[in-house]
Every structure is written in C-alpha cells, then in structure tokens.
Amino acid sequence: MSATYATHPEAREIVFDFISDYDDPTLLGAFWMTVKLTVFSGIGSLVWGTLLAAMRVSPVPLMRGFGTAYVNIVRNIPLTVIIVFTSLGLADIFGVTMGARDDFALQGFRLAVLGLIAYTAAFVCEALRSGINTVPVGQAEAARALGLKFSQVLSLIVLPQAFRSVIGPLANVLIALTKNTTVAATIGVAEAALLMKEMIENEAQTLLIGAVFAFGFVVLTLPTGLILGWLSKRLAVKR
C-alpha cells in the first residue's frame, strides 16, 4: 500500500470512522464511565477493605472469623459471577435496585460498583494485612501503654504505617480494578469494553479497535502505577 494517510486524508477518515460513528456513548464517554467505575469502586473498596483488615486483626473472635471467611470466599469467586449475581440475583430476585428502580443505566452502574467493591475489598484487605504485619509489635504496645483504645491504636499508629508500606501492592490492586471494570459490560454498563464489543461486531477494523481500547487502558493505568510508585518511596516510614 503506497498511499499514506498524509497524501490521502480521506483514507484516515475511512479507517478511523468507527470512532466518530458512535455517539451513545462516544469513545471518550465510554472511558469516562470506566473512570467513574474505577473511582467509586476504588474508594469503596479502600474503605470496606480497611474495615475488613481491622476485623481480621481485632481481638474479637467473631469479627476475626467473619473477616477471614469473607476474604476466603469472595476472592475465590470469579468477578463475573459476582457482577452477574448483583444484577440477576440482587436486583431481579431480591429487588435490591440501589435506589434506581426505573433508571436501568444508573441501576446497572450502582450494582456494578457494589460488586466491584465487594470483590476488590478482599484484595485490599489482604494487602493491608500484610502491611500491618510489617509494623513492629512494639509500636502497638507503646500505643496501648499510653492508654489508647484498640480503635485508636489501629487508626492512629498501626494503619498509617501499614498503608505507607503497602502503597505498591495497593497500586497493583487499583490497576487490576481499573481493568476489572470491564466485567461490568456483562450487565450492560456502558463502559469501554461494552463499546469495544459493539464496535468489533459492527466494524471491519478489529485489530485497530482492540489496539485503541488497549491504549486507552494503558493511558489510565500507567500513570496510576508511576504516581503511586513515587508516593510509596516518598512516604516510606524510616525505622
């Protein structure tokens, strides 16, 4: 093929027309949905994962048991099964519509976020728990000796140090989460993977479409890894 896009601008239009032919959602709109899924699920799983980690190290046997059981069950179920269950199980059978009974797009989004949080929190919990194990036991003893309560020992002394030592592993979890949001496509959330599937079905440029979406995800995840890697070094606790 001797013709180039530069000498034949109309060729570029034909090759890349799949990008402009879609407007509900647009390519950017679909990736924006991916970003929203990642951000909401990321914050949610950080909170829920931290609570789970607190349960797993708590002195109350019942809490420890719940935390252990939750992590070992949830992290061993495929995410697809969890996400599909939120829609077919929670919403359709149990009527949990997340405050969006008639707005299916919003309902799907919220259910997907719920499923992603439930799943990702198990991994956040385990990353954090390994971080808790890096904090010398003397730190907690000194805190208890001052008269701090268990919740204060954890929130003021142990967890801040644990978080700093696991920023790297948490970055991995966040990157995995970003890519895992594609599973939300199975319940019809209009994020990047769903749009990709639609484009591949309708267009001829299969490889190019794949490359565009792959590039989109790298653009999202590469800075995540770099920034958090930098932060991990900066915030490392010196002993």
Partner 1 sequence: MTEVSVAKEGVAATGDLVVLKNVNKHFGALHVLQDIDLTIARGEVVVVIGPSGSGKSTLCRTINRLETIDSGSITIDGKPLPHEGKELARLRADVGMVFQSFNLFAHKTVLENVTLGQVKVRKKDKKAAEERARALLDRVGVGAQAEKYPAQLSGGQQQRVAIARALAMEPKVMLFDEPTSALDPEMINEVLEVMQQLARDGMTMIVVTHEMGFARSAANRVVFMADGRIVEEASPDQFFSNPRSDRAKDFLSKILHH
Classify residue 198 as exposed, middle or buried by CB count within 10 Å of its CB (0-12, 13-18, 19+).
middle
Closer CB to partner 1, 139 or 172, in the complex: 139
Answer yes or no whether residue 64 interacts with partner 1 by CB under 8 A.
no
Asked if residue 47 binds partner 1 (CB under 8 A), the reply is no
Which CB, 97 or 139, lies closer to partner 1?
139
Positions in 108-137 near partner 1 (CB under 8 A): 136
CB of 138 to partner 1, least distance (A): 4
Report the distance separating Cα 164 and Cα 190, nearest Å: 35
Q: Which of 120, 117, 116, 124 is nearest to 56 (CA)?
A: 124
- The backbone torsions φ and ψ at residue 8, rounded to the nearest 5 degrees and listed phi first, read -130, 80
Q: Which residues contact 83 (CB under 8 A, 6 or more apart)?
A: 111, 112, 115, 116, 183, 184, 186, 187
H and E: helices and strands count for the chain: 12, 0
CB of 232 to partner 1, least distance (A): 14
Over the window 156 to 175, marking each residue x when it contacts partner 1 by CB under 8 A and - when it does not, the resulting string is xx--xx--x-----------
Q: Which is nearer to partner 1, 50 or 181 (CB)?
A: 50
Pick from 90, 96, 148, 231: which binds partner 1 (CB under 8 A)? 148
From 80, 152, 172, 224, residue interacting with partner 1 (rule: CB under 8 A) = 152
**Cα dihedral sign, 180-184-186-190:** negative
For residues 194 to 233, the per-residue mask of contacts with partner 1, x marking binding by CB under 8 A and - elsewhere, is ----------------------------------------
Is 28:20 a contact under the CB 8 Å cutoff?
Answer: no
Show the tokens assigned to 223.
């800075």
Q: Do 45 and 122 meet the contact criterion of CB atoms below 8 Å apart?
A: no
Q: Which stretch binds partner 1 (CB under 8 A): 48-56, 84-92, 145-153, 178-186?
A: 145-153
User: CB-wise, 64 or 144, nearer to partner 1?
Assistant: 144
Crossing angle between the packed helical segments 104-134 and 27-56, to the nearest 10 degrees: 40
Q: Are 200 and 206 in contact, with CB atoms under 8 Å apart?
A: yes
Minimum distance, C-beta of residue 127 to partner 1, in the bound complex (Å): 18
Q: Minimum distance between the CB of residue 60 and partner 1, rounded to whole angstroms?
A: 10
Interacting residue ranges for partner 1, rule: CB under 8 A = 59, 136, 138-139, 141-149, 152, 156-157, 160-161, 164, 237-239
